[in-house]
Structure 1
């Protein structure tokens, strides 16, 4: 097994499964229904091992039950940078779906335990990955991108460029890999 293998993910007797999670919001939120002006997340990024899922989040489409059950499962450990904020916002955005992310791990806190003396509480995903993965990071830096440029036409999936897909996948992949390294 690879040193960061998230483990067996069969149904019976599986140990905790590390899932890297991130989410993005790109649309302006101008209808005034949110006093803070925060747009709901519209792209969910998940990674298990080397498998990434990028999922569009529409307010009018319920989340699949399998995804809700997966994130609620007590053997699913969801890891990320800023995971509390992301999880709470996702749960609020998807309240009507009953989304609850049960087990979440803040990667910055875990990294500070493993690397005492480093001030990691405010670092970015990329900076944290450089410390945790000891420089073995090839982070895709996005140029100015509009994730939902074609959202109005309903052709979002076909409008994602290779660069957008890489950027979104890498965020979730790094969270998964760091979680696997920090929680082994």
Structure 2
């Protein structure tokens, strides 16, 4: 994920069976991560996210990621949806959920929100093909807009290179082994939670820096 322990994860006791909380520390910045399949927990995350953003002048940028289990084949639908705004991330276990709350559907379709990610060409389709038929209002692939300091396009660059060139962090990798793991399991592993969080968080940061709402 990153060299020299610059990215770490710790669990927190919640006293609830509806969700789990983690703190992922990304180069000194703590990120709160909610992992859940519970619709009410998702709605609460959405409400708080909208509330905390209400006084900001710029439109909301939402780092977005999707995962599915590779061994189910190329037609596998989305099993998890990852969202990040600021230092608050949500990992919604779609595969384990009995429904998608209306608050999340409205959030994903809100034209004032800008959803961004990296190497996400299949994500919209995977979400729509899920059991819950999840739609999302546009989804930008930041590779198409990111540039190195010398003006070189990063369209074909890895996530690690894009993060290094745009944000200045070295060694931030999205491990293939984790990406290809089982994302439909009831209890996601800490390595999965950390990678999903980092993917969504760096997408948020890059999208904000690029003023993605203007792209």
Partner of 1:62: 99
TM-score by length of 1: 0.72
Task: Write 1 or 2 for the structure with the bigger share of strand.
Answer: 2
> Does the CA contact (< 8 Å) of 2:68 and 2:183 recur in 1?
no
- For structure 2, the 5+ residue unaligned runs are 1-48
Match of 1:100 among 135, 139, 147: 135
SS in 1 for 2:78: coil
Query: Aligned in 2, Cα 1:178/1:161: closer, same or farther, shift over 3 Å?
Result: same
Partner of 1:111: 146
- For structure 1, the 5+ residue unaligned runs are 1-5, 31-36
SS in 2 for 1:163: helix
Match of 2:165 among 124, 128, 131: 131
Q: Count how many residue pairs are aligned between Structure 1 and Structure 2.
A: 161
Partner of 1:21: 64
> Does the CA contact (< 8 Å) of 1:15 and 1:75 recur in 2?
no
SS in 1 for 2:124: helix
Q: Is it true that 1:183 corresponds to 2:211 in the alignment?
A: yes
Partner of 1:44: 81
Mapped partners of 1:108, 1:120: distance in 2: 6
SS in 2 for 1:38: coil
Mapped partners of 1:88, 1:137: distance in 2: 31
Mapped partners of 1:83, 1:52: distance in 2: 18
- Structural mapping, 1:137-152, within 5 Å: 137=170, 139=172, 141-142=174-175, 144-145=177-178, 146-148=181-183, 151=185
